[in-house]
């Protein structure tokens, strides 16, 4: 086990004085009360390190006090484990410290319980619940991040290596990105480095060894600091210059991304230039660029277009005094505070200003990225889908584009026009038919660049296509598209299932009654009547299995038996002539342009000496090639006892065995393939035309529904 240097625990008067220094209005009595209560209820409890347990909440409170948080957050930190780990109740906390603190403690407690369950509960569900709790009061997340940070500092004391690895991975994948998203750089860096050390100990040791072998780097940083300071002073500016080596984790990630060795890295140092005003930021940039060589393509202006978490700075990369690349960030003191503390900068002593009284500054929804993730949470179907989309939102670099009115839309790198449309509003995205970038008409899949002005063109008749999901990169767009397709398919399967069930019931002389089916739901694996009908439409449940629930309510009569006999006779006649109104022996041709099937509305075209060609009622060839005087309105006989060709266009993923899955799905619907033609083939997708032998349009619809349930199938259309 690694030896960890133990720091002296913060004392009661030290914590209170620290808070009072930045917030003279703090409730000193309540702070003291919480400190004493924390020590009392945790009593003789010990941590894995052997230290008294109450050291932990004290350190969490001290971390938040260093960030100058309000006394509500400090008290919550002191009490955050009391409900879970002691006999203290929510009601007791509420009576002693008030409703606001009790709610925050309860929020942190719920998140802590999720951590204990995480060995058996999917990470996605944990994160979903964490985000819901955080969105109510973002200070809950601040306390939780400080809690996680102190736990990571003492992770070496946990003996179980699997548990250490699980906590470290959760920290790297969830908590560090969240710290980054709310702008707390110091939390993000420390969480990443601790997780890196536990998950990849060998790689961490190598990077640390390489950094230690560069004793001249600190002197080099000091010299560059002095050099930049002189450049600014000669130009009439004064500012603070901070230089540092990049963190071990960021160095390792850069090595992984570029596939290079440590020695090949040229930009190991980063410098911050902090000045007094916004105007001086751009003056400093001009002075620095005029004295050093700027690396092309490495300048970013996050002052005029801030990041989603409020971060502002000018970023540029230079060839410095030692002919090394150095990253430089230029910002004001206020921007630097936001950079270091993120949203926590809103909870220091300035919380009492009148401006803060106008809005609920504790509500996480004031931040655009929180609103965006909440919208994803609303539209995602499963926790895993939410986690997938949320990671997309949190890990990507950004591009900044503009609406025609000049509003800035921040999007991940590689975002396309559809991402832009969905970023404006879900309904705008769903009805997008086209767009103009900088006044030029472009396809929906066009990738956006920084500074593009985008005009979205919509139509109420437009709706999302499954293929759209291949173009978009934002979690919000993917969630909206999937939701629409899911609802559309559900409605189609519901209608199809209802039609199939009614048809089978008619054959069995049963009458559909929803009340009967509702009574029988408890005998099935489905939640309600709608789910049963959808399952029938999807082909997951046979309608014949459902008919048995209606049979006990059928009372056969003599008239019903006569109807059966009459229906059977009609069936015999209809096998000879599948279409009503035609003379037996007349030549009948089924149009190859529309492939009419029993169940379709049909029209016949009379061709002198050649017979009649049958088209669907909406076939375009009726308009192009026929005179209305030659039209015949026809109907199918009740049960034409023969097979017809139904043509389908199927788009599917080019995976091994994909064609076999498709043919099997068609076969399971009691249909045969008469012909198959590949019309488009790429490394990713195939498009085929297939003629399927079916007895009705309903059966073809069943085939379509069965194919759509396959994960490899992107689109199925009748031709």
Catalytic residue annotation: 84-85
Strand partners, 441: 436
What's CA 226's distance to the chain center, in Å?
Answer: 46
Strand partners, 590: 614
Tokens 């790689």 belong to which residue? 203
Which two structure tokens, joined as six digits, stand for 677? 């033609």
Measured CA to CA, the distance from residue 702 to residue 315 in angstroms comes to 58
Q: Determine contact, residues 413/398, Cβ cutoff 8 Å.
A: yes
Give backbone dihedrals phi and psi of 153, rounded to 5 degrees, phi first: -65, -25
Measured CA to CA, the distance from residue 71 to residue 483 in angstroms comes to 42
Which two structure tokens, joined as six digits, stand for 335? 């921007």
Measured CA to CA, the distance from residue 281 to residue 279 in angstroms comes to 5
Q: How many CB atoms lie within 10 A of CB 635?
A: 11
Measured CA to CA, the distance from residue 340 to residue 461 in angstroms comes to 48
Q: Determine contact, residues 317/329, Cβ cutoff 8 Å.
A: no
Dihedral sign computed on CA atoms, order 545, 550, 555, 558 = negative
Q: Which helix (H) or strand (E) holds 81?
A: none
Measured CA to CA, the distance from residue 246 to residue 166 in angstroms comes to 26
Q: CB burial class (10 A; 0-12, 13-18, 19+) of residue 715?
A: middle
DSSP state of 79: H
Q: Determine contact, residues 430/380, Cβ cutoff 8 Å.
A: no
Tokens 């600014």 belong to which residue? 232
Establish how many alpha carbons lie within 13 A of residue 273's alpha carbon, considering only the half-sphere containing its beta carbon: 33
Measured CA to CA, the distance from residue 334 to residue 346 in angstroms comes to 11
Give backbone dihedrals phi and psi of 446, rounded to 5 degrees, phi first: -60, 130
């Amino acid at each position: 086990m690694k030896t960890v240097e133990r720091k002296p625990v913060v004392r009661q008067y030290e914590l209170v004085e620290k808070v009072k220094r930045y917030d003279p209005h703090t409730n000193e009595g309540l702070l003291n009360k919480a400190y004493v209560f924390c020590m009392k209820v945790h009593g003789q409890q010990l941590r894995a390190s052997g230290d008294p347990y109450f050291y932990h909440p004290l350190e969490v409170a001290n971390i938040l006090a260093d960030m100058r948080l309000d006394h509500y957050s400090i008290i919550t930190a002191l009490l955050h484990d009391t409900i879970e780990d002691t006999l203290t109740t929510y009601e007791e906390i509420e009576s002693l410290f008030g409703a606001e603190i009790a709610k925050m403690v309860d929020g942190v407690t719920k998140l802590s319980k999720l951590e204990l369950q995480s060995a058996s509960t999917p990470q996605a569900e944990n994160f979903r619940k964490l985000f819901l709790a955080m969105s109510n009061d973002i200070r809950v997340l601040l306390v939780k991040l400080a809690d996680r940070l102190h736990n990571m500092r003492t992770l070496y004391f946990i003996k179980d290596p699997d548990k250490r690895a699980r906590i470290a991975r959760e920290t790297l994948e969830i908590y560090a990105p969240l710290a980054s998203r709310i702008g707390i750089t110091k939390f993000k860096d420390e969480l990443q480095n601790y997780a890196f050390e536990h998950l990849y100990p060998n790689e961490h040791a190598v990077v640390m060894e390489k950094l230690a072998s560069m004793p001249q780097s600190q002197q080099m940083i000091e010299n560059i600091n002095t050099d930049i300071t002189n450049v600014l002073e000669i130009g009439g500016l004064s500012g603070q210059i901070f230089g540092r080596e990049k963190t071990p984790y960021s160095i390792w990630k850069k090595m992984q991304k570029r596939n290079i060795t440590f020695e090949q890295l040229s930009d190991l140092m980063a410098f911050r230039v902090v000045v007094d005003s916004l105007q001086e930021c751009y003056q400093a940039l001009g002075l620095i660029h005029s004295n050093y060589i700027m690396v092309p393509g490495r300048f970013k202006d996050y002052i005029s277009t801030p990041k989603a978490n409020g971060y502002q700075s000018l970023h540029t990369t230079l060839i410095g005094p030692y002919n090394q690349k150095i990253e430089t960030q230029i910002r004001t003191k206020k921007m630097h505070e936001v950079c270091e503390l993120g949203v926590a900068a809103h909870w220091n002593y300035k919380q009492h200003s009148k401006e803060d009284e106008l809005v609920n500054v504790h509500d996480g929804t004031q931040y655009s990225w929180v609103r965006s993730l909440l919208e994803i949470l609303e539209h995602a179907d499963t926790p895993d889908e939410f986690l997938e989309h949320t990671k997309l939102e949190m890990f990507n670099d950004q591009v900044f584009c503009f609406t025609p009115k000049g509003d800035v839309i921040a999007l991940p790198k590689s975002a396309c026009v559809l991402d832009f449309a969905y970023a404006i509003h879900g309904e705008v995205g769903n009805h997008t038919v086209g767009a103009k970038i900088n006044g030029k008409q472009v396809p929906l899949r066009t990738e956006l660049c920084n500074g593009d002005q985008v005009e979205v063109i919509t139509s109420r008749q437009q709706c999302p296509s499954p293929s759209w999901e291949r173009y978009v990169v934002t979690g919000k767009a993917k969630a909206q598209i999937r939701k629409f397709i899911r609802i559309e398919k559900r409605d189609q399967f519901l209608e199809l299932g209802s039609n199939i069930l009614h048809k089978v019931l008619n054959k069995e002389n049963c009458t559909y009654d929803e009340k009967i089916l509702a009574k029988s739901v408890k005998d099935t694996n489905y939640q309600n009547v709608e789910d049963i009908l959808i399952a029938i439409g999807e082909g997951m449940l046979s309608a014949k299995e459902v008919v048995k629930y209606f049979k006990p309510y059928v009372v056969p009569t003599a008239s019903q038996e006569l109807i059966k006999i009459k229906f059977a006779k009609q069936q015999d006649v209809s096998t000879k002539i599948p279409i009503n109104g035609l003379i037996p022996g007349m030549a009948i041709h089924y149009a190859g342009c529309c492939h009419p099937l029993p169940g379709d509305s049909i029209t016949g075209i009379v061709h002198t000496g050649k017979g009649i060609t049958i088209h669907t009622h909406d076939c375009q060839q009726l308009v192009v090639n026929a005179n209305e005087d030659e039209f015949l309105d026809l109907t199918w006989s009740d049960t034409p006892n023969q097979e017809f060709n139904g043509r389908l266009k199927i788009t599917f993923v080019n995976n091994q065995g994909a064609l076999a899955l498709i043919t099997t799905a068609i076969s399971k619907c009691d249909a045969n393939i008469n012909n198959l033609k590949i019309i488009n083939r790429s490394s990713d997708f195939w498009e085929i035309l297939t003629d399927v032998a079916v007895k009705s349009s309903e059966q073809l619809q069943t085939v379509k529904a069965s194919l759509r349930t396959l994960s490899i199938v992107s689109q199925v259309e009748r031709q």
